[in-house]
Chains A and B, each alone.
Chain A
Amino acid sequence: MDLTLYVWRQNGPDEKGKMEQYEAKNVSPDSSFLEMLDEVNEELIANGELPIEFDNDCREGICGTCGCVINGVPHGPQEKTTTCQLHMRQFNDGDTITLEPWRAGAFPVVKDLVVDRSALDKIIQAGGYTSAYTGEVGEANQTLIPKPDADYAMDAAECIGCGACVAACPNGSAMLFTCAKVAQMAVLPQGQVEAAERVKNMTEALLNAGFGNCTNHYECEAACPKGVSVKFIAKSNREYIKALGK
């Protein structure tokens, strides 16, 4: 199939960017979205033009490196799917596709579709860890954790840190990312020791990094390639209330 692409091109963080038009010809419906971009890039390189920069690593939907806003939706039209796992059969011959980077003040554009997401690391550094000694390998199983709690923590830990929640949020907020970590640790005994500081420090880091505040649009959950639920935001709000007196 043949497609028309409108892609955000920006040479560097301080350069002015703009949308440019490209034609993608003879795209196989079985190729992945990034393979389609690879082919477009090969042609650009052959013509002596700069290829379109985009982030990617595992191409298996597990690392969280890839991601751009495809036709206005982070990671594109297919639910619970990363950009690298999106396939061209989701599109039709003759379609127009717009490609933009994650848009947030806290995510400055590095080049084209690549943004700097180290603001998310700052949030993790503010409390997304436990200082409790959890023992050697075998000893981990000595702290018994009820199955529902383990499942809950695992659901929250599904976050791959791609930043689609920020890109989707009308307020450019990283609440889903932050709260998934707060909630994951709040139900585990090792995490409970630092629960009160964690929720305060991580949400403070969120504001300091320049992210917005949550107003419960729930766009984050809809865009999350792992389906991380906004129930973790409610959980973190409870954790914050519990921490108020401390």
Chain B
Amino acid sequence: MPEIKITRSIDLKTAGPFVALIALFILGAFVNDAFLSSGNLSNILARSSFIGIVAIGATFVITAGGIDLSVGSMAAFISGCMILIMNSLMDKIESLPVLILIAIFASALIGAAAGCINGLLTTKAKIEAFIVTLGTMGIYRSLITYMADGGTLSLNFTVGDVYSEVYYGTLLGVPYPVWVFLCVAIIGYVLLNKTVFGRHCFAIGSNEKVALYSAIHVDRVKTMTYILQGICVSIATIIYVPRLGSASGQTGVLWELEAIAAVIIGGTMLKGGYGRIWGTVVGALILTLIGNILNLTDMISNYLNGAVQGIIVIAAVYLQRGAWRKRAPT
């Protein structure tokens, strides 16, 4: 019987993002001594959690051949809802932790429902994901602006004080958001790589028709990816709201692009069929690191943060293309 080996050689594509992360890390250490301080490091990790968690959801959507542009405004909308719920229930509910739990629960529900709407519109109404989520992106953005009456929604201070523990608290010296990030990443990894659902995402992303003929519930799986994305957005907002204690029309602006960038830097293919959770995690870290390093140095203006990120995304895709062509010639 022939030997069966399914080696995936460690090529540029798999190792690339990790190498880039290490390189940035070394660069950071050289640029400024403050970089390696534990305060700065945990700050980097905590900040990358938001984009990272959203990007993990995006990894599913993109692997299954979809795209979700609505995540940034969805985050803002959910933040607004949470704040409104907590502020209005203040008088009715004595225990603040219970109040916060209710808001968290509502947030998860709204996130899942919003994702479900995106999913059903793409699968049942057969509208391209790009169009659907472009539409919902506008809708959520204007809803939050409307809810805040063009200004800012602020969380009641008493609640905010208790809730802020979620963002500022630590376990074993590591901030809670980082733990949440880690948990979401592990769950995401298992789900994408070890379960039938994940395998189906890969199959649908590489060829939807083949997936259909392989007895896969294509519409159901695709909708599930959007629901997962919605839940990830809600998790991100749950740890984001206590950080600022407010939401406005400016909350979460461009998150969708950062999330997609993190996913792509991590080696997931934008056209679907191939996704990597750890790559996405690294992608999110890289994006935050760039901002952080630019903050710590005078060599390049901080205003050029976006430009550097853009260059990194383009370079990452360029490198992947080369490696990809080597593996599976078309």
Q: Do A and B bind each other?
A: no
Which A residues fall within an 8 A CB radius of B? none
Which B residues fall within an 8 A CB radius of A? none
